[in-house]
Each structure stands twice: as C-alpha cells, then as structure tokens.
Amino acid sequence: MPTVLITGASRGIGLEFAKQYADDGWKVIATCRDPGGANELKGLAGKVEVHALDITDRGQIQALAKSLKRENIDILINNAGIYGPKPALLGGINYGAWEEVMRTDAMSPLKVSECFLDHIARGKMKKIIAISSKMGSISDNSSGGSYIYRSSKAALNAVMKSLSIDLKERGVVVALLHPGWVKTDMGGPGALIDSRESVSKMRDVIAGLGPEQSGGFFGFDGERISW
C-alpha cells in the first residue's frame, strides 16, 4: 500500500488530496493545525491517519517525524500555506504579516521536507511536491501588487528548485505545482475550477513525474510554467 503525507489537509485542496488518495487505496497521513475541528477529514473513508501539525512550529515537525520514523512515505505533498492580508498594496504593507507568510509558505515546506527526508528516501516513489502558484512566476507578473503572496511563492519556487538539485543523488524527485484558480476559502467562489478537478489533474501530473522533471514548475494540466 503506497503512503502519502499531506500538510494542511483539513480543508480545500489538502482535504481533496486526502480524499482522492484514500479512495484509491492509499494510506494517507494527513496533518492539520486543529484535528479536533477537522470533522470532514476525520470522516473520510479508507486508511487515513490525522495528526496535529503547525508547520511553522519546527519542534512539532521534528517530533512528528520522530513519531513516524518507521513509516516509508512515497509522496510528500507540502500543501499548507496562507495568502496573508488583502490587499497587499504599495504604501499599505503589513510587514509583520509578510514575515508570517514567508515562514509558512517558503520556510516551513523546506523544514517538513528535511525532517521527513529519510522516510521519503525509503519509499518506492520518492517524490516531494510543493503546491505553489502561478502568482509566484516573475515572468508572468503583468499586474503588480500582491507583494506578500507573490514573493512567498517565488521564494518557495527557489527553495524547492535548490532542494531538487541537492536530492538528485538520493533519487528523490521534487516538483512545484500550480493548482489553478480553485474554488476554496483562499480562491473564493468566483474561481474557475473546483478542488476535485484540480486535484485529480495534479495527481496525474504527480504520477508521471520522473527524474527528468525534477525541479520543474508545472500547472495542474502538466504544462511547464516559466519562472
């Protein structure tokens, strides 16, 4: 039975990843900040374990990795992230909030990947996925603004690109995925696709990733996105 570890699994894209992998017979290790309030996650059918994890708490990450030291993990999905205050416009930037978003979106996924690296290296698939955003593409930025979120995802892209190079010798594939504009709490009701479609297509992309795609930035449709 393959195993997937998903952060931020209590709602939205993370919850849908957990549901779809569980429905397909995977063992799902699902993490979220408040398992007590994650009723939908805890109600999923299949082999689903729910663990408390605040990804900004490095000690908590280390403790969870130690408690799961016997697990072989095939895929790690670094999904947890925040947008930060809106609007983030010139002259009105909340710099304290910016620091929080950078810790959550760019620094914490690296710490999670680092702490669970041995678990992943023992798995058969050996894949680390980070959910990024096309808003982190510098070349695609034609509208400006959104300083906080754009910079956090651009930083995540840089972090994961470096990680892909560092882990090449261990056979671990690292990739970044843009889920599209998804109807979630973050994406809002006016988004273009629902989480079921986004996750289904991203799972297809993940399944097809090999060493030659490691370090790449892809849309949910599998198309490469420019940095």
Quick check: is 214 catalytic? no
Measured in whole angstroms, how far is the alpha carbon of residue 21 from the centre of its chain? 15
Per the annotation, the verdict on 164 as an active-site residue is no
Cβ neighbours, 10 Å, residue 155:
17
Judge whether 127 and 176 are in contact, CB under 8 Å: no
Q: Which of 19, 21, 132, 149 is catalytic?
A: 149
Alpha-carbon distance of 131 to 195, in angstroms, equals: 13
Q: Report d(CA 115, CA 58) in Å as an integer.
A: 9
The reply to whether omega before 87 is within 30° of 0 (cis) is yes
Of 19, 126, 153, 183, the catalytic one is 153
Token reading at 199: 């996750």
The catalytic residue among 113, 133, 151, 164 is 133
Is 153 a known active-site residue?
A: yes
Q: How far apart are CA 29 and CA 64, in angstroms?
A: 11
Residues with catalytic roles = 133, 149, 153
